[in-house]
A and B are shown apart, each in its own frame.
Chain A
Amino acid sequence: MNDSKHKSTQTNKFISIIKDIYNVFMNEFRIIFKDRGVLIMFMLAPLAYPIIYGSLYKNETLVDVPVAAVDCSRSQRSGELLRHIDATQNVKIVSHYSSLTEAKKAYNDKKVSGVIFIPADFNKKLNTGEQTTVSIYCDISSFMYYRIISQACSYCVQDMSKKIQVERLNNNGITGESAAIISDPIPYEGVVLYNEGAGFASFILPAVLMLIIHQTLFFGIGMIAGTSREENRFHVLVSTSIHRGSTFRVIIGKSISYLSIYSVWSFFILEVIPHIFNLPHIGNTADILLLLLPFLLSTIFFSMTISVFMPNRETSMILFMFMSLILLFLSGVSWPQSNINGFWRAFSWIFPSTHGIQGYIKINTMGADIRHISFEYISLWVQTAIYFITATGAYYWQINKSSQKLMNEMETEIG
């Protein structure tokens, strides 16, 4: 008899826990949908940012970058070389000048992004079997210009170089198969993997998409907690008495509500957006889902931990918006992770975004599966555990403080 009574109290307790969590969960939804600021963060930003960035970086690579040509040789061969360069997809010769000075003026006026200079003795040297040099001058205000112009020119120069080489070998009495061998004794081929067109969007957008999830969650949660603190209603979060158990219920109830909203957004951002904008997307969906769970949870608990210290609703946004840029670099997408020094590397492990971005790119862009990213995956679960504990501690402290304050106020009122 005793036993069954014990059991029924346990069942009751279990039901009350579920009820508490459900109440917190529903209450959180009400808060989110009643607050325009939070709605913008949770509903508008995850919709708008991916579309805006996707459209801005729609062009994967540079097309027809305008360059000027200074052809002092004015020969058939120099003309041919320039025509070849002009015919590439990336570079377009828009003007011809008779001297470098004139071309430089056009460059300074921003009419062209590069200059190709062919010296006067170009053809003569080629005819007499000597070596000649073509010079290019590139705009390097952007990394892309330099890469595109020098790639296109070096491809065309090498191509012409090879033809002349065979001619010269023939002139030296080396013909046929042996000329072919000498002109290319060790053929080589560079194969570009996972982003075949070396596209800028394919490279940066997957990282940005994960960062959008991370940051909107962070600012949204920060805003909710800041508002609670402003209005001093942390105490409302707990239905009855203050004990540790109820803090857990608050944390779980709240995080389920964030998780449910962001499950939908994650599907949109990580599944729909890559299709719309033609981004790399060769990963296994199940693996992405596996990674997503600890990523969202650790981000939520991390944000909840920090959010408790936000005195006002706008504080986290004003103070931490700049961190979005820093997190992007810390993730090791542009500047390779192997070259980030020890201190900043350790610092980067504080944030769920680092592992989330790395893990997502490896699965989504490079087709890795979950066992290849075990480091990121385990790290995210470790973060989830740590930030769950810190969030609980922080909330416990804040709830206590808040209800203490309320008690004191009530006492003074009564007194």
Chain B
Amino acid sequence: MFNNLFEAIFETFKREIIRMASRPIYFFCTVVVMTFSYIFFLTFFNEGQPNKMPIGVVDFDNSAFSRQFIRNLDATQQAKVTMRLNSHREAREEMQRGNIYAFVEIKRDFSSQVISNRRPKMTFYVNDGFLISGSLLLKDITYLSAVTSAGMQQQILRAKGMDESRIKSIIQPITLDTHLIGNPWANYGTYLLNVILPSILQLMVLMMTIFPIGVELKERTSKIWLETANNSIFAAITGKLLPYTFIFTTLGIIGNILLYRYMGYPLQSSISWMFLNTFLFVLASQAIGVLLIGITPVLRDGATLAGFYGMLGVTFAGSTFPIEQMPWATRIFSDLFPIHHYFNIYVNQALNGVEIKHSVVSFVALLSFNILPLFVYYRLKKAAINQNFPIK
């Protein structure tokens, strides 16, 4: 009996390979899309953090002091002074054009006011309509302003004849030491690629589960498909999807190697946990795909559903905006997305490097997705035999 089953699976597998070679879409939606995505995102974020973003200055003071400040500004990691503007209005317009992401305004007689202890105020403006560049620049310019202010304090205290060790403790009685757990460089690529690339993988697995099954129903070849599998829908699905399991797991593992070895993104545990994670993630996504095409055995509706589900997956992974802070219903929904569990395992293993027991629940969750196809077992079989669903 088992021999029969294996033979049925193997025959379907062989048939699928031949089908795959007959149309370019199979190659495009697996290898080409994933390769393109890897190349795109790795070259897109290769800087790690957006550095030297263009900012402007409105320097009404034009003194040695203000020129030095602007030079220091230009030397910060994130900012580059690309524009000198003549008025607040002009600066604001350049910001609206998107030519600069921030600007600093230095008042007339600024330096003479500093020297005469009249405490002139330094104002800078950042555009948080572009949140990432805005918040990074705000941090950098604030830091530089604090340093400049501290330098001034130092000068005054020195003039009062105070010794250096005391000056330091007066300027900054409490310092703050910030540690980033797992990602010490605050690399933007690390945040995003660990979610975006698996999201695309999940999307393509879904599409490439729904398409091979749906196209049999659409082109009315599903009876032949089932016959090849000895009329076992289990063998038919397994044999059909096996090539994709293999292709996508390989592509996913290549992705892991690119991120953790080639790019050197944080990896605090053995990379094999991420390989296992990827494999189970592909299987779980395939199970969701079978469920979707089983619910609506019409290729076009299945693809629409998969697209909808796949795009939501990016949100539900929980990296862009933490799930814990979303409306409560969202938190429950997020468990229905394999990518959410994949992301949890990534955070636990790769980022934080905690003991594997913390990830067991997520691994089990990924595995349990494989129960889902059972719910559409008979529906899919009937659809394959009766071919009673519309083709368009």
Give the residue name and chain of the A residue nearest to B347 (CB): A141
Tell whether, in the assembled complex, residue B169 and residue A129 are in contact, meaning their CB atoms are under 8 Å apart: yes
Q: A187-B119, A318-B25, A318-B29 are in contact. Are A326 and B304 (CB under 8 A)?
A: no
Contact B174 A137 (CB under 8 A): no
Check B131 against A63 for contact (C-beta < 8 Å): no
- B: contact size bracket: 35 or more
B300 contacts A by Cβ under 8 Å: yes
In the bound complex, what is the Cα–Cα distance between A172 and B145 (angstroms)? 26
B122 A187 Cβ-Cβ under 8 A: yes
The stretch of A3-11, A246-254, A332-340 that contacts the partner chain: A332-340
What 0/1 readout, one digit per residue, does chain A (22-47) give for beta carbons within 8 Å of chain B?
A: 00000000000001110011000100
Contact with A along B103-145 (1 / 0, CB 8 A): 0000000000010010111111111111111110010011001
Do residues A138 and B157 form an inter-chain contact, with CB atoms below 8 A?
Answer: no
> How many Å from the CB of B390 to the closest CB on chain A?
8
**A361-B129 in contact given A37-B392, A318-B29 (Cβ < 8 Å):** yes
Q: Do the beta carbons of B98 and A362 come within 8 Å of each other?
A: yes
B76 CB within 8 Å of chain A = no
From B101, B126, B177, A191 is in contact (CB under 8 Å) with: B126
A190 with B126, Cβ < 8 A, contacts A317-B307, A336-B101 known: yes
What does the 1/0 interface line of B91-102 toward A look like (CB < 8 Å)? 011011110010
Question: In the complex, what residue of chain A is closest to B148 when comparing beta carbons?
Answer: A186
Q: Is the CB of A142 within 8 A of B149?
A: no
Name the one of B146, B169, B177 contacting A136, with C-beta atoms under 8 angstroms. B177
In the assembled complex, which residues on chain B have CB atoms less than 8 Å from the CB atom of A338? Answer: 50, 53-54, 101
**Total A-B contacts with CB atoms under 8 angstroms apart:** 327
Name the distance in Å between B83's Cβ and chain A's nearest Cβ.
12
The answer for the CA separation of A172 and B311 in the assembled complex, in Å, is 62
Interface segment, one of B160-168, B220-228, B249-257: B160-168
Closest-by-CB residue of B relative to A136 is: B178
| B-binding segment of A145-153, A388-396, A407-415 | A145-153
Q: How far is the CB of A218 from chain B (nearest CB, A)?
A: 12
Residue from A108, A133, A339 whose CB has the most chain B CB atoms within 10 Å: A339
Contact indicator B44/A340 (Cβ below 8 Å) = yes
From known contacts A130-B169, A142-B318, infer whether A186 and B119 are also in contact, taking CB-CB under 8 Å. Answer: yes
Cα separation A195 to B52 with both chains bound (whole Å): 22
Q: Are B178 and A164 in contact (CB under 8 A)?
A: no
Is A138 touching B149 in the complex (CB atoms < 8 A)? Answer: no
| B263 contacts partner chain A, Cβ-Cβ < 8 Å | no
Contact of B389 with A by CB under 8 A: no
Known: A132-B173, A315-B25, A366-B95. A195 touches B200 (CB 8 A): no
- A284 part of interface (Cβ distance < 8 Å): no
Contacts A129-B166, A132-B175 known; A192 to B121 CB distance under 8 Å?
A: no
Q: Is B231 an interface residue (CB 8 A)?
A: no
**Residues 157 to 182 of chain A near chain B (Cβ within 8 Å):** 157, 160-161, 164-165, 168-169, 172, 174, 178, 181-182
Q: Which segment of B5-13, B320-328, B378-386 sits at the interface?
A: B320-328
Question: B123 touching A188 by the CB < 8 A rule?
Answer: yes
Chain A residues, CB < 8 A from B182 = 140-141
Q: Is A57 engaged at the interface, CB distance under 8 Å to the other chain?
A: yes
Q: B191 touching A142 by the CB < 8 A rule?
A: yes
Residue of chain B at shortest CB distance from A206 = B129
What residues on B are CB-neighbors of A188 within 8 Å?
Answer: 121-124, 142, 145-146, 149
Cβ of A324 under 8 Å from chain B:
yes
Contact with A along B347-373 (1 / 0, CB 8 A): 110011011001000000000000000
Which residues on the B side are within 8 Å of A97 (C-beta)? Answer: none
CA distance A191 to B168 in the complex (A): 29
Chain B residues whose CB sits within 8 angstroms of the CB of A191 once the complex forms: 123-126
Q: Which of A196-204, A257-265, A268-276 makes up part of the contact surface?
A: A196-204
Please measure, in the bound complex, the distance between the C-alpha atom of A160 and the C-alpha atom of B176, giving whole angstroms.
Answer: 12
Q: A143-B188, A186-B114 are in contact. Are A317 and B303 (CB under 8 A)?
A: yes
With a 10 A CB-CB cut-off, give which of B138, B148, B392 has the most chain A CB atoms.
Answer: B392
Chain B hits for A146, CB < 8 A: 180, 186
**Secondary structure dominating the interface of B:** helix
Tell me, yes or no, whether B45 is within 8 Å of chain A by CB: yes
The CA-CA distance from A329 to B117 in the complex, in Å, is: 47
**Smallest Cβ-Cβ distance to B316: which chain A residue:** A56
* Min distance, Cβ A366 to any Cβ of chain B, angstroms: 5
Q: 1/0 per position for B218-247, CB-CB distance to A under 8 A?
A: 000000000000000000000000000000
**With A62-B322, A322-B204 in contact, do A141 and B314 touch (Cβ < 8 Å)?**
no
Looking at the complex, which one of B132, B152, B178 makes contact with A334 (CB distance below 8 Å)? B132
Q: B97 touching A372 by the CB < 8 A rule? A: yes
**Contact at B44–A344, with CB atoms within 8 Å?**
yes
Find residues 287-334 in chain B having any chain A CB closer than 8 Å to their own CB. Answer: 299-301, 303-304, 306-308, 310-312, 314-315, 318-322, 324-327, 330
* B321 with A144: CB separation less than 8 A: yes
B129, B149, B307, B314 interface centre (most CB from chain A within 10 Å) = B129
The verdict on A321 contacting chain B, using a C-beta distance below 8 Å, is yes
Q: A318-B29, A366-B95, A372-B97 are in contact. Are A189 and B123 (CB under 8 A)?
A: yes
Inter-chain CA distance A195–B389, complex, in Å, is 50
Cβ of A145: which chain B residues have Cβ within 8 Å of it?
A: 322
Contact of A134 among B123, B149, B177 (CB under 8 A): B177
Residues in B neighbouring A129, C-beta threshold 8 A = 166, 169-170
Minimal beta-carbon separation of B351 from chain A (angstroms): 6
Binding site for A on B (CB under 8 A): 25, 28-29, 33, 37, 40-41, 43-45, 47, 50-54, 92-93, 95-98, 101, 114, 117, 119-135, 138, 141-142, 145-146, 148-149, 152-153, 156-157, 160, 162, 166, 168-183, 186, 188, 191, 196, 199-200, 203-204, 207-208, 210-211, 214, 299-301, 303-304, 306-308, 310-312, 314-315, 318-322, 324-327, 330, 343, 347-348, 351-352, 354-355, 358, 392
Additional 10 contacts, C-beta under 8 A, given A131-B172, A134-B176, A137-B179 = A41-B304, A126-B173, A133-B174, A186-B119, A190-B142, A195-B134, A203-B129, A321-B306, A324-B311, A336-B133
10 pairs of A and B residues whose beta carbons are closest in the complex: A368-B96, A203-B131, A195-B128, A188-B145, A194-B129, A185-B152, A164-B173, A336-B133, A188-B122, A365-B129
A-B contact pairs, 30 of them (CB 8 A): A37-B301, A56-B321, A57-B326, A59-B327, A109-B358, A132-B174, A138-B180, A142-B191, A142-B319, A142-B322, A154-B178, A157-B176, A168-B173, A182-B157, A185-B117, A185-B156, A187-B122, A192-B134, A195-B128, A195-B134, A198-B131, A198-B135, A203-B131, A219-B307, A314-B214, A325-B200, A335-B45, A338-B101, A358-B98, A362-B96
